């Protein structure tokens, strides 16, 4: 490696330190996901430059990298709130998040850190991830954005329910609760009329399609067609209909469309054929709309959360009804092949999800805030521990290796179907 005159070396180091300091300042104001990506990419690129090139060109390229990162991070600065109006669609879990503590500011940066143990105290079978304005993500997000100064339209399934009443009681006068079932076209039209009347010339800045339903996780063959249709109706068609209804307001404000999808919409997790298929459709719809709406200067972002403890699965009674629907739907032959013990054991999958889920949903809220507030929002956000690694693992690993680890990780506590667990029958099948 060649040496440099002392003056040139000191000049290069000074430039590098200055640019590095600017990048670090910008990183402090960026979302957690942006920070992680920039630190990883910057470290790898800078290290490669310094190791593979001469000292002079290594410093030059590293300084150039810092400059480009600074330009990129400048686009991550958050726009002023100015009481921008946002719409959040509702949950289909049907439970209120009355156990959620108030939002708390964290740290000297003045950002809000939200530690939400949604539905703490409920049985583990009633917890999962992704909710709406009645509960889960939507309930917490409505409070969070309201406290930040946004004008929030919180869509709920029951405008007289406990979740809606809590929002009215704890939030500012700028929050408006809307009766809006995303599977009901008339309620969407009524909500649109209310929003237009209230925002008038200000327009609607963002639509956050957060409504979601999981159904009962089970082998794809065991899931009734009615559950497939319900997942598609809520998770996909509902989001599409809301988007189409409110796009005129988004075009007027050159605002944001944020669709809350899921890791399961891109990664083929076991037991989630109905839910994953509906979220995959939403992910593809979002990717296409991102390109088509660019000419209108409307920015589209996808949120693909990892495992978080909310209540998308609903109550114990709802799960029992889903199990009964599944058993009533199955033909005698299929029930004989799988066995009732295996079929009823499917609910244990929810316990496995609960064990690997996080109680702190603040990464989701912060990423959604970034998506609706940043000058140049990301097209994809992956909040949650290990979420981005799972996506990379699926996209870059051989199929056989992914299938092996997917089975070990998500199917380790479920027994074999009745027929396959019988030695004689297993040999006949093979």
Closest to 394 measured CA to CA, from 284, 302, 266: 266
- Cβ atoms 159, 177 nearer than 8 A: yes
Q: How many residues does the chain have?
A: 430
- Cβ atoms 136, 312 nearer than 8 A: yes
Phi, psi of 160 (to 5 degrees): -105, 5
Element (H, E) at 337: helix 332-338
Alpha-carbon distance of 121 to 139, in angstroms, equals 17
Closest to 258 measured CA to CA, from 211, 296, 295, 215: 211
- Give the other-Cβ count within 10 Å of 399's Cβ: 9
Strand duo 176-179 + 206-209: pairing = unpaired
Closest to 299 measured CA to CA, from 313, 314, 287: 287
Q: Is 275 a catalytic residue?
A: yes
What is the per-residue DSSP string for 225-261? HHHHHHHIIIIIIIHHHHHHHHHHHHHHHT-EEEEE-
- Cβ atoms 176, 194 nearer than 8 A: yes
Closest to 358 measured CA to CA, from 337, 333, 383, 380: 383
Going from the C-alpha of 310 to that of each of 27, 76, 158, 325, the distances in angstroms are 30, 29, 18, 23
Task: Write down the catalytic residue from 275, 338, 342, 388.
Answer: 275
Residues tagged active-site: 275
């Amino acid at each position: 490696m060649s040496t440099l005159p002392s003056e040139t070396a000191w000049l290069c180091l000074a430039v590098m330190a200055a640019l590095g300091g600017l990048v670090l300042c910008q990183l402090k104001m960026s979302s957690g996901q942006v920070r992680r990506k920039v630190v990883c990419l910057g470290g790898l690129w800078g290290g490669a430059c310094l190791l593979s090139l001469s000292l002079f060109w290594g410093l030059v390229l590293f300084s150039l990298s810092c400059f480009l990162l600074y330009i990129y991070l400048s686009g991550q600065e958050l726009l002023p709130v100015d009481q921008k109006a946002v719409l959040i669609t509702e949950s289909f879990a049907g439970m209120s998040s009355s156990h959620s503590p108030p939002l708390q500011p964290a740290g000297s940066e003045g950002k809000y850190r939200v530690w939400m143990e949604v539905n703490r105290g409920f049985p583990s079978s009633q917890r999962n991830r992704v909710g709406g304005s009645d509960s889960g993500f939507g309930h917490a997000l409505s409070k969070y954005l309201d406290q930040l100064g946004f004008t929030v339209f919180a869509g709920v399934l029951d405008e007289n329910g406990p979740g809606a009443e809590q929002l009215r009681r704890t939030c500012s006068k700028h929050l408006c609760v809307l009766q809006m079932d995303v599977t009901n076209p008339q309620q969407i039209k009524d909500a649109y009329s209310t929003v237009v009347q209230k925002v008038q010339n200000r327009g609607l800045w963002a639509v956050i399609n957060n409504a979601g339903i999981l159904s009962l996780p089970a082998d794809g063959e065991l899931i009734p067609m009615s559950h497939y249709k319900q997942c598609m109706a809520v998770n996909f068609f509902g989001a599409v209909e809301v988007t189409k209804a409110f796009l005129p307001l988004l075009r007027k404000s050159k605002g944001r469309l944020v669709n809350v999808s899921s890791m399961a919409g891109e990664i083929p997790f076991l037991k989630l054929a109905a839910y994953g298929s509906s979220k995959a459709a939403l992910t593809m719809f979002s990717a296409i709309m991102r390109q088509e709406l660019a000419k209108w200067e409307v920015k589209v972002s996808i949120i693909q959360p990892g495992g978080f403890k909310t209540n998308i699965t609903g109550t114990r009674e709802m799960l029992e009804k889903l199990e009964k629907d599944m058993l009533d739907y199955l033909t005698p032959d299929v029930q004989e092949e799988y066995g009732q013990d295996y079929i009823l054991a499917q609910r244990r999958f929810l316990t496995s999800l609960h064990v690997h889920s996080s109680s702190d949903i603040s990464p989701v809220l912060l990423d959604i805030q970034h998506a609706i507030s940043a000058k140049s929002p990301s097209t994809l956000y992956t909040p949650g521990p290990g979420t981005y690694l799972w996506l990379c693992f699926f996209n870059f690993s051989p199929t056989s290796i992914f299938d092996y680890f997917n089975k070990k990780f998500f199917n380790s506590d479920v027994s074999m179907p009745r027929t396959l667990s019988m030695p004689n029958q297993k040999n006949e099948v093979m």
